[in-house]
């Protein structure tokens, strides 16, 4: 199975960005951890601070599943929601922090309704859970 792990704005700063909220692991740590945890899965990693680049990536990815932390665009981007609805690839929405325990503007997600599921509040483990969920889904479809 081929899975793309996509991270949105400001997540390139993981490690130094608000460590009390997001932890001290970096995106490189995330990539290394997932690659060693899932050696049989073909994983691709993409991060962008630009909404249009995220859309272009979602459109062109030929992957079987997508793990997406859309970061702040989660709460604002109708374009991202439409892109997820347009592609026929299952997308799992992931957040490092528990967005429901934070400011009210983070409680609403534009994208949840078009994702296959949502994982929020488990830090980096959330990405691992999302990959596992996509693998289980794929197994179910067989
Ligand atoms: C986030 C939560 C968002 O509300 C925030 O804008 C982020 C990160 C998370 O992973 O917890 O940038 O998606």
CATH label of the domain that carries residue 97: 3.40.50.9100
Q: pLDDT by residue (tens digit) across 82-128?
A: 999 999 899 999 999 999 999 999 999 999 999 999 999 999 999 99
Ligand 1, closest atom to CA 9? 12
Which pLDDT score, from 0 to 100, does residue 142 have? 74
Reported confidence tier of residue 61, pLDDT bands at 50, 70, 90: confident
Q: Quick one: pLDDT at residue 29?
A: 97
What is the rounded average pLDDT of the residues 134-138? 92
Sign of the CA dihedral running 44, 45, 51, 52: negative
Active site residue 95: yes
In this structure, which residue's CA is closest to atom 1 in ligand 1? Answer: 71
Ligand 1 centroid from CA 74, angstroms: 8
Structure tokens at 87: 């592609």
Question: Tokens standing for 23?
Answer: 């932890």
Chain mean pLDDT for the chain: 96
Domain residues for 11?
Answer: 2-141
The pLDDT of residue 67 is 98
| Bridge partner residues of 120 (DSSP) | 95
Which residue among the candidates 57, 63, 73, 95 is catalytic per the annotation?
A: 95
Q: Give me the DSSP letters along 104-136.
A: GGGT--SSGGGSSEEEESSTTHHHHHHHHHHHH
Domain count for the chain = 1
Q: How far is the CA of 96 from the centre of ligand 1 (A)?
A: 7
The pTM assigned to this predicted structure is 0.96
Instruction: Average the pLDDT over 13-31 and give the result.
Output: 92
């Amino acid at each position: 199975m081929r899975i793309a792990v996509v991270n949105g704005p400001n997540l390139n700063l993981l490690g130094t960005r608000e460590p009390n909220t997001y932890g001290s692991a970096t995106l490189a740590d995330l990539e290394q951890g997932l690659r060693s945890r899932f050696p049989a899965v073909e994983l691709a990693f993409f991060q962008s601070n630009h909404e249009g680049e995220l859309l272009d990536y979602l459109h062109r990815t030929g992957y079987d599943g997508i793990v997406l932390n859309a970061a702040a665009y989660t709460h604002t981007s109708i374009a991202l929601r439409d892109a997820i609805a347009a592609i026929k690839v299952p997308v799992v929405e992931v957040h490092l922090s528990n967005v429901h325990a934070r400011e009210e503007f983070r409680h609403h997600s534009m994208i949840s309704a078009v994702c296959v599921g949502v994982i929020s509040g488990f830090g980096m483990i959330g990405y691992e859970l999302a990959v596992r969920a996509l693998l289980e889904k794929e197994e179910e479809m067989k």
